[in-house]
Structure 1
Amino acid sequence: MSGAGRTESLAEDEQWWVDGPIFSTRRQGARITAVGPGRVPGRFTPGMLFRIALTAVFWAGLGFLVLPKFLSQGLVPWVEHMSSQWWVYALLALWVLGFFTVGSAFGLSRAATRSYGQQGVASVLAALPIVLGLLAALGVHLWVYAEFYSQPHRGLEPWELPDPVLFVIAATVAAAGVLVLVVWLPISIVRARHEQRDIARLRDEGARFSGVVVNVRFRHEQIGSFVQFDTTIVFTTLTGDRSVEARMSTSSDRVPLSGFAVRAFVGDTRGGRARREMILIEPDLSQQACFDPDSSKYSVRT
């Protein structure tokens, strides 16, 4: 084991497939997938549905109050008056506080990662209620404009009337975003579940070998809360040592050092006319894990 790293026992760590390190020899970035040992492929749970509803309601209310601050041209008079009140600023401060304490989606992204084992699914699932909530807020504002124009306004010139064009543009963009997310979500879930089934099958049927991480290269990329790496893995088979390249996704405080023990499962893919070799790399839970104690070096500048 190289370097003086921080060691811990992964045998007691029931969340390594959520917090990392997660390896993949055939996927990269947001499509790197994991599934906990003994767990079934991802399922949509009541808890996730509750978080979706809570997130949508939260962003709808926030959007109704805050959007007039950003789309301030041509507001309906009472909306313009409301947007300047002190309590709107107080609610905005509470939102900022909530953002840093419970996150923008009330833990939905982590719940989705725990279930589907993939950052891509988690990002789409967390984004959908946020955009849906903002679309609902924009819809309410457009209804306010419609109500305002349904009343006579004598003494006002046409150019003096509130103009909803910015809200119409924003609502169109939000509606397009919702449509894209609604179409993409089931596709990403199906792909993630297929990958999880392959992983579970390979654990049961694949040949198992012991190995180590011999090289870790930081890619200076971050997806969600995970930083990305290229790694070289060496494992010992019946015919000798074998080396493979794998992408790794992990949190910045769980970056393995060279010598980190892994298990390699080797088998074949299923489906299609030709079978191809599939290699699954996972932490070896029977060994002490050694992580880099300096997580600051893995910060990604945006």
Structure 2
Amino acid sequence: MRDAAEGQQKHGQQKHIETMPLFSTMDRNGRMTMLRPGRRVGRAAPLLPWLLTAAALWALTGSVPFGALLGLAPTPAISIFLGHPVTVSVAVVLLLVAINATGGVYSRAVEQFGQTRVAGLFATLAITGGLVTGAGALLLWTLTSDPSRPFDLEAIATSPTIPPELGAIVGAVFALLAAIVLLQLPGSIAHAGRRQADIERLRLEGSSFAGTLTAVNFTNRWLFNFPMFTVEVSYIVDDAPLVVSAHMRTRADRVPVVGSRMLVLTDVRGTTHVELDLSNGAVFEPDVTKYAAPDY
């Protein structure tokens, strides 16, 4: 079993590894987890530089609307500067760079943890954390520049101009979102790590059985344009036929048909993982539009 896994790793280093379809016997939707052959269980540390860079870009980008539109400019001169067309143009460029950097955080998180939920949390943290940092810095600067001015939420309704309290409220909303993400992220990382560790252990030490895809049921749902299915895989252990159910996420052009060969990996703990056996010439649904996501 170990030799086969090492062979897969060498093969994966030589050519692109196709990750679809993705199966899970325990999770569904964004919590479905993959581990590319040759990769180790994901770690958060390699993502931190990219996360901090993206957050810094969002902080710089967000300072313009927070300062020019939401009343968090410490002085009228700074408000005029932040609202200047040149400054706004620079902010638009920074916004595009921030979006690209956040996409990089997302893709690298998927590479590390093999899970879209964890990747989405990292990307959301980059956005909300950056905006909160920018808004918080401006709010602190505003309050310290005029300590005699009271912080009064009623000013939102009574002030003839946009008061800093409005920007503070908007910043607080992003702070709440960032806090929610921070609370969810450790558990999601741990969950993805456990799933990847299970897959790694099964590939190296588990028992492998040849299986057959006996049922493919479309759930009429898509996740990021990827159709979702429930499937059944039959295999034989000690002359006894067994069936394992799983969730499947794939591309519309890579939906395996009933009868496709599968690999079923199990261990004494009762953990089960299924994969499409690509070495036996997988056959996919010929009508690539059949499960394509609708255009709304």
TM-score by length of 2: 0.77
Please give the alpha-carbon distance, in whole angstroms, between the structure 1 residues aligned to 2:40 and 2:261.
25
Q: SS of 1:294's equivalent?
A: coil
Residues 41 and 83 of structure 1: CA distance in aligned 2, closer, same or farther (over 3 Å): same
2:71 and 2:165 in contact (8 A); partners too? no
Q: Where do 1:1-302 residues align within 5 Å?
A: 14-16=16-18, 19-46=19-46, 48-67=47-66, 71=70, 77-78=76-77, 80-82=79-81, 84-91=83-90, 93-94=92-93, 97-98=96-97, 103=100, 105-147=102-144, 149-150=146-147, 159-160=159-160, 162-223=162-223, 226-269=226-269, 277-292=270-285, 294=288, 297-299=291-293
2:74 and 2:145 in contact (8 A); partners too? no
2:103 and 2:123 in contact (8 A); partners too? no
Please give the alpha-carbon distance, in whole angstroms, between the structure 2 residues aligned to 1:216 and 1:98.
41
Q: Once the two structures are superposed, what CA deviation does each residue of 1:148-189 show, in whole Å capped at 9, x if it has no partner?
A: 53489xxxx983464122212122222222222223222221
Higher helix proportion: 2
TM-fit CA distance, 1:55: 0.7
Residues 253 and 24 of structure 1: CA distance in aligned 2, closer, same or farther (over 3 Å): same
Residues 229 and 72 of structure 1: CA distance in aligned 2, closer, same or farther (over 3 Å): farther
Amino acid at match of 1:56: A
Please give the alpha-carbon distance, in whole angstroms, between the structure 1 residues aligned to 2:259 and 2:74.
62
TM-score by length of 1: 0.75
Please give the alpha-carbon distance, in whole angstroms, between the structure 1 residues aligned to 2:93 and 2:220.
33
Amino acid at match of 1:25: T
TM-fit CA distance, 1:92: 5.3
Cα root mean square deviation, aligned = 3.5
Amino acid at match of 2:89: A
Residues 164 and 109 of structure 1: CA distance in aligned 2, closer, same or farther (over 3 Å): same
1:256 and 1:290 in contact (8 A); partners too? yes
Please give the alpha-carbon distance, in whole angstroms, between the structure 1 residues aligned to 2:116 and 2:122.
10
How many pairs were matched up?
277
TM-fit CA distance, 1:225: 6.6
- Tell me which moved more, 20-29 or 244-253: 244-253
What's the % identity of the aligned pairs? 26
Q: Once the two structures are superposed, what CA deviation does each residue of 1:80-132 show, in whole Å capped at 9, x if it has no partner?
A: 53454333553455356557xx7461411221122212222212122212111
Amino acid at match of 2:17: Q
Please give the alpha-carbon distance, in whole angstroms, between the structure 2 residues aligned to 1:104 and 1:227.
27
Amino acid at match of 2:35: V
TM-fit CA distance, 1:191: 1.9
Residues 73 and 64 of structure 1: CA distance in aligned 2, closer, same or farther (over 3 Å): closer
Residues 297 and 70 of structure 1: CA distance in aligned 2, closer, same or farther (over 3 Å): farther
1:105 and 1:126 in contact (8 A); partners too? yes
Amino acid at match of 1:248: M
Q: Once the two structures are superposed, what CA deviation does each residue of 1:191-216 show, in whole Å capped at 9, x if it has no partner?
A: 22122222222223332122233333
Return 5+ residue gaps in structure 2 as ranges. 1-10, 150-154
Return 5+ residue gaps in structure 1 as ranges. 1-9, 270-276
Please give the alpha-carbon distance, in whole angstroms, between the structure 2 residues aligned to 1:79 and 1:134.
18
Please give the alpha-carbon distance, in whole angstroms, between the structure 2 residues aligned to 1:256 and 1:90.
48
